Structure 1
Amino acid sequence: MKLTSVKQMFLVACLFLATTLETQAEVRRVDEAYFSSTVRGEIGADDTVDTVANQYIVKFKPGGEAVMPVKEALMRLPSINALLLTGETPIDTDAVEYIEPNYVLKADLTPNDPDFSKLWGLESIGLIPTWDTINGSEILIAVIDSGIDYNHPDLAANMWTNPGEIPGNGIDDDGNGYIDDVYGFDFANGDGDPADDYFHGTHCAGTIAAVGNNGTGMVGVNWTAKLMALKFLDKSGFGDTAHAISAIHYAVQKGAKILSNSWGGSGEKALKDAIRQAQEEKGVLFVAAAGNSTANTDMFPHYPSSYDLDNIISVAAIDRNNALGTFSNYGPISVDLAAPGVDIYSTVPVSLGSYVSQEGTSMATPHVTGVAALVWAANPTFTYQQVKDRILSSVDPVPSLSGKTATGGKLNAYRAVIGDSKPPDELRRPPVASCSASGSGMTVTFDGSKSRDTNEGGYLTRYLWTFANQADTTPATGDKMTTEFQTPGTYVVTLTVTDNDNLTGEAKCNVTVPWQEEENYLGSPPLRADFNAEEGASVVGEVGTPPAEKCESGISKCTWTVCKQTPTGCNPDGTLYGECKFSQVFNSEGTYKITPMLTCNDGKTITKSDREVRVLPSIGGGFAGGISVNGDSYKTYVAQQLTDTVDVVGEIKPILAHVNQLVDIVVYALYPQYPTSETDTWFMLDRAGGVLVWDGNPANVVAFKPQVPLTSPHLVTMYKGQFVLPGHLLVYFGYRLPDGTLVNSNNPIDITINQ
């Protein structure tokens, strides 16, 4: 058995990066063990998040209970077989499954003035007619938050009370380890009184289940649900992972079916384990706020809402106009749906005025929680998965949420409870138009066949093509259209599609004629290249007739060779292709030379010029790109000389909802300690390619390519030439949507420029 301290284990991985470890000492501390690569595995330390100083959650392997230092523990976390320990505590590393810091968590709230109409959110989600069928239930809901004012006149009748506890006798009557836990428990202060000394939990509780039809104040989504008060956020709205885990464990053991969680922050495994355990043991549904950082949580996770667990519903916020809240996080994978979260009127502790309006994903989450309780009450045999599926499958489609949430919609209480999944006519989504083009010379064919209707049972009834700057061309119909332009130039062609509900969608194609086929290919894998040996260009369709002066007797066969460029030359892959039309998908980054040779019927051979396929490396999140130095392959990291000639290129593969939107392409770069400055400096490129200093505010970044239709993929040629200053440059690129949302490459193209 090897003993160490938590803190010692935490530090060991850093030593691994610098030197080879000597034989481990018999005694190890928890903080050193945390940093041990053998214990921590793939989980990296993150210095950018808040943690509780010198506190670590240590989970022990099955059978490791015998060596758990229980006496030294700050807290036991029995639901995940873990302890909260200080960094100096010695532990047996062989018995440890993982260690992580005790992360700071906070309420997901954005305060605002209470000068708006009251309870608009309940009408927005179709709740009023739902109450004609069912308006309440005895479902037990745990509000894991800052506590609840359990004496509030609009909440008191719906407060859960512990049947095994006698109030105020100072005894743990039910033997669950908590004294006088009548309404729940205060984990933040370690006592049995979960009264709200912040306001946040009480506000959430009112939206869920303020008493209905009592002639007092407001009404909640669910008039009669039972509210369990579990306080782990302090009077400033902050808590930590260990206390959150304890609150989850308490709720599960006491029979709560739904946990409402309007808080979040950073996290690793421990909190996820506790939520998974709640699902596996008791089938608990976990409703969580998506967070208020205006971030895409697919790229920048917010926990617990971003955990990939079946029992979590992640909730964004919308306003009364169905627009995504300006503060709200979003994510087409990690966020499920949206609910009203702006100007939400609800209860607060009586000492703070009893009622107030607030905004945040914290306010959206309890709407979903309350509806989940109604769904369960109307369908008592449902599992948590069926409740979740019913809620997500019955949303109202909302255009502003397309590509922002997994469902693309907002909560609809009526259809969730009643089970009617077909949207009313006034809530049906418009169709999505799609336009692509191909051509030869002055003739261009436009294809709208990928346009679609997204409503259940919907279909397209009409295609209309119009030309913005060619007066002599009349509108055309059909999903495909071919036209011959009379004058060279650039033209904008608009496709408008109409569906069976007479709703319309629009897409634009920009084309330049004469049409030029690309001789070479540039893009990210998988990249398909099509070449025609006779024509010397990429083609679509059948092989063309060879020029008479090249193979007068006709072509007997075509042979292609492929080689990949390396620092020592171009290495053939040994494969010969014997068709005159070459087609291959390239899945590995690099530069490939494709050489065609024609054999004529009279035996003459003609070797034609090389074609080139340049495959960009991925930089994550739908972005690819790199820098080519002196014609070499594109790389995401290079060290080069100031005299080298470079080509910086990026490629965007946007999500489907963003394709064909008019966007601003943006390019910006960080120059750490720019030569004329002692601090890091941000630059951006304007539409002329000029370099401007940028303040780092996304709202102020100028457009490199303004108002262009976003294609998939979309190539961005950022810079060709020579750099003028030495240093270290981190280049980012992306696009800005019409609503101002900035979508960018999460990782940079990293360039070191030597003198």
Structure 2
Amino acid sequence: MNRIGKLVYTASLLSLPFLTFAQNSKDEKPKDNWQNLDLKSDGVFGISTEKAYKELLKAKNSSPVIVSIIDGGIDEEHEDLKKIMWVNSKEIPGNGIDDDKNGYIDDINGWNFIGSAKVNIHHDNMELIRLINKYQPKYASALNSTPFNEKERKEFQLYQKLVTDYMAKLQSAQMGLQNTMMIKKYLDEITSSMNNQNPTVDDLNDFKPSNDMQSQVIKFIKPEIKKSDFKKFYEELLDGIKHYSTQVKYHLNVDFDPRKDSVGDDYSNSNERFYGNNDITGPDAEHGTHVAGIVSAIRSNDIGIMGVANNVRIMGVRTVPDGDERDKDVANAIRYSVDNGAKILNMSFGKSYKWDKKVVDEAIKYAVSKGALLVHAAGNDSKNTEKEDNFPTRLFTDSTGVTMGTADAWIEVGATGWTNDEDLVATFSNFGGKTVDVFAPGVKINSTMPGSKYKENDGTSMAAPVVSGLAALIWSHYPKLTALQVKDIIMKSVTLVEQKVKIKEDGDNKRVLLSEISVSGGIVNAYNALLLAEKTYSSPSSKSK
């Protein structure tokens, strides 16, 4: 899963392939808190949250809603989150006893399914690596002419696809690492020669390069540092090096197996429920902390940022490593969340391959049966998810892949920027006329980071918690609504987009209507949703439920 959400710089200046990450085509900076602002009054395509609070929610009472952040960890001590963390009142902190007898010892703010008493998993493989290792002993030496039964033939074809995908991804990661390291090398030479670690454009204009590579690097970075400054450029370059290095060393390393002798579970048993530890922060809580703040960072404390919802309890369920999440852990995270009272499950993660879809399907069915709403990020690969897989999904399938049902209480979320023009859809966002329900702000979203810090990130990972926050805002004021009613309200109250927007599909640039690449054809809107919720809640049919 792409967690950087930033431009990682090209090495076209080094005569090597163009490599980028998720980014928006707009270089300018949006207004602060833009995702919560109003298109008409503020000029940015937010979801009108502030308008809703000002005009619809004054003096209105609300009830707390538990939102589970199934992610990579949350800094529960963050200044903008600490007071709204879910607390398991039935558990006595630190006594080493499972007081509430739910199977999880000292789960005060949630649970960690990728850790043990000894260690927390930080990095993991991509699922395709785990599948390659699973099938390689049987199919590595096989040929197309090898006689297989129907099941074996499908496995062999999958293995061939996995290997092809793996080789392409590994080559891209290795080249990306080489390119970004080379840019860093020449930048370091330049700043060392200048004796200036934060040069301006004027400083670079005055500098006399000692070789052609330095000249090319300077030519490339000058327009980039005009957008911000050299330090920010350099930080993002280091992020790129870290990203590619992690891909090569961990995500795409067939010899790396972090699960072995770490978590302490029987990984072959997908139905095993009770393992892990109570450390919901873990070694890398950046992504989950950022997601949590978007949902409900405290609005009334005059510090930091403002989340969408103002009466939420955040439950941290650490499930996603730096790498692909595992199906067993996802299933257990879903079950843990609803068993402990979560009404909304935010899932800002996804992957292209599955290991045990059945166990995840069963957990999703369980969550739906308990009245929960599942909100899932559509993914950051600029792909049509009607054609390309992004697991988990709302579709339940049998062992042959035939669809056997669907999770109705599920919202799939794509990402948009702040400008109401053809660039509205984020360049990285996945889309799908039947697979993506709504779009929501997901570009340059400022939110909470570990250590009581704040940072802008991009991604459908940021768009999903905007929708989770909206669902929580609705539910907190209209608690008798069902999950399906909350979803229906969100879907029917979107701001419809009339103009065509740019996407890229199968290598071709296209201009399409938002209704062609999503079910609702619009961007979620808090003001409209609360008006519709009031109408729905006041109707006789709603009261009778």
Q: How does 1:202-213 map to 2 (within 5 A)?
A: 202-213=289-300
Aligned partner of 1:299 in structure 2 is 387
SS in structure 1 at match of 2:331: helix
Q: Distance in 2 between matches of 1:306 and 1:312?
A: 6
Q: Distance in 2 between matches of 1:338 and 1:383?
A: 22
Aligned partner of 1:261 in structure 2 is 347
Which of these residues, 380, 387, 402, is aligned with residue 515 of structure 2?
402
Cα distance, 1:417 vs structure 2: 1.3
Structure with bigger gyration radius = 1
Structure 1 length normalisation: TM-score?
0.40
Q: Distance in 1 between matches of 2:394 and 2:388?
A: 9
Aligned partner of 2:280 in structure 1 is 194
Aligned partner of 1:345 in structure 2 is 446
Q: Distance in 2 between matches of 1:109 and 1:361?
A: 12
Q: Structure 1 residues 137, 147: CA separation in 2 closer, same or farther (over 3 Å shift)?
A: farther
Cα distance, 1:373 vs structure 2: 0.8
Return 5+ residue gaps in structure 2 as ranges: 8-22, 38-45, 116-275, 396-405, 502-513, 536-545
Aligned partner of 1:126 in structure 2 is 48
Q: Distance in 1 between matches of 2:473 and 2:489?
A: 11
Aligned partner of 1:695 in structure 2 is none
Relative CO higher for 1 or 2, CA cutoff 8 Å, sep ≥ 6?
2
Q: Distance in 2 between matches of 1:374 and 1:421?
A: 12
Aligned partner of 2:410 in structure 1 is 312
Q: Distance in 2 between matches of 1:179 and 1:145?
A: 20
Which of these residues, 281, 284, 288, is aligned with residue 376 of structure 2?
288
Which of these residues, 418, 427, 430, is aligned with residue 329 of structure 1?
430
Q: How does 1:328-477 map to 2 (within 5 A)?
A: 328-350=429-451, 354-398=453-497, 399=499, 400=501, 401-419=514-532
Cα distance, 1:375 vs structure 2: 1.2
Cα distance, 1:152 vs structure 2: 0.3
Aligned partner of 1:173 in structure 2 is 99
Aligned partner of 2:239 in structure 1 is none
2:164 pairs with 1:164: no
Q: Please list the CA deviations of residues 312-346 of structure 1 after superposition, one character each: whole Å capped at 9, or x if unmatched.
A: 10000001114111000000000001000000000
Q: Distance in 1 between matches of 2:429 and 2:534?
A: 26
Matched to 1:416, the amino acid is: A
SS in structure 1 at match of 2:302: coil
Which of these residues, 298, 304, 314, is aligned with residue 217 of structure 1?
304
Matched to 2:415, the amino acid is: A
Cα distance, 1:137 vs structure 2: 4.2
Q: Please list the CA deviations of residues 707-754 of structure 1 after superposition, one character each: whole Å capped at 9, or x if unmatched.
A: xxxxxxxxxxxxxxxxxxxxxxxxxxxxxxxxxxxxxxxxxxxxxxxx
CA contact (8 A) 2:310 2:473 kept: no
Q: Distance in 2 between matches of 1:329 and 1:354?
A: 29
Higher strand share: 1
SS in structure 2 at match of 1:222: coil
Q: How does 1:20-169 map to 2 (within 5 A)?
A: 106=1, 110-111=5-6, 117-123=31-37, 124-132=46-54, 133-134=56-57, 137-169=63-95
Q: Cα RMSD over matched residues? A: 2.1
SS in structure 1 at match of 2:367: helix
Q: Distance in 1 between matches of 2:113 and 2:411?
A: 24
Q: How does 1:514-525 map to 2 (within 5 A)?
A: none
Q: Distance in 2 between matches of 1:117 and 1:169?
A: 47
Aligned partner of 1:183 in structure 2 is 109
Aligned partner of 1:276 in structure 2 is 365
CA contact (8 A) 1:107 1:145 kept: no
CA contact (8 A) 2:319 2:330 kept: yes
Q: Structure 1 residues 417, 185: CA separation in 2 closer, same or farther (over 3 Å shift)?
A: same
CA contact (8 A) 1:154 1:211 kept: yes
Identity %: 40
SS in structure 2 at match of 1:250: helix
Which of these residues, 219, 232, 249, is aligned with residue 335 of structure 2?
249
Return 5+ residue gaps in structure 1 as ranges: 1-105, 423-755
Cα distance, 1:212 vs structure 2: 1.1
Q: Distance in 1 between matches of 2:361 and 2:4?
A: 22
Cα distance, 1:270 vs structure 2: 2.2
CA contact (8 A) 1:134 1:374 kept: no
Q: Distance in 2 between matches of 1:152 and 1:345?
A: 15
Q: How does 1:578-727 map to 2 (within 5 A)?
A: none
Q: Please list the CA deviations of residues 649-689 of structure 1 after superposition, one character each: whole Å capped at 9, or x if unmatched.
A: xxxxxxxxxxxxxxxxxxxxxxxxxxxxxxxxxxxxxxxxx
Cα distance, 1:381 vs structure 2: 1.4
Q: Distance in 2 between matches of 1:217 and 1:110?
A: 21
How many residues are matched?
313
Q: Distance in 1 between matches of 2:531 and 2:416?
A: 23
Q: Please list the CA deviations of residues 160-190 of structure 1 after superposition, one character each: whole Å capped at 9, or x if unmatched.
A: 0111111111111111111111000111112
Q: Please list the CA deviations of residues 373-430 of structure 1 after superposition, one character each: whole Å capped at 9, or x if unmatched.
A: 11112222111110000000010111332311011100111111121899xxxxxxxx
Q: Structure 1 residues 270, 109: CA separation in 2 closer, same or farther (over 3 Å shift)?
A: farther
Q: Distance in 1 between matches of 2:360 and 2:332?
A: 10
Cα distance, 1:306 vs structure 2: 5.1
Matched to 2:410, the amino acid is: I
Q: Distance in 2 between matches of 1:161 and 1:173?
A: 14
Q: Please list the CA deviations of residues 71-130 of structure 1 after superposition, one character each: whole Å capped at 9, or x if unmatched.
A: xxxxxxxxxxxxxxxxxxxxxxxxxxxxxxxxxxx4666235996543211111111111
SS in structure 2 at match of 1:264: coil
Cα distance, 1:301 vs structure 2: 2.4
Cα distance, 1:148 vs structure 2: 1.0
Q: Please list the CA deviations of residues 266-304 of structure 1 after superposition, one character each: whole Å capped at 9, or x if unmatched.
A: 333321221111111x11100000011111101112122
Cα distance, 1:369 vs structure 2: 0.3
CA contact (8 A) 1:108 1:262 kept: no
CA contact (8 A) 1:211 1:220 kept: yes
CA contact (8 A) 1:107 1:264 kept: no
Q: Distance in 2 between matches of 1:108 and 1:152?
A: 20
Matched to 1:279, the amino acid is: V
SS in structure 2 at match of 1:243: helix
Q: Distance in 2 between matches of 1:263 and 1:156?
A: 24
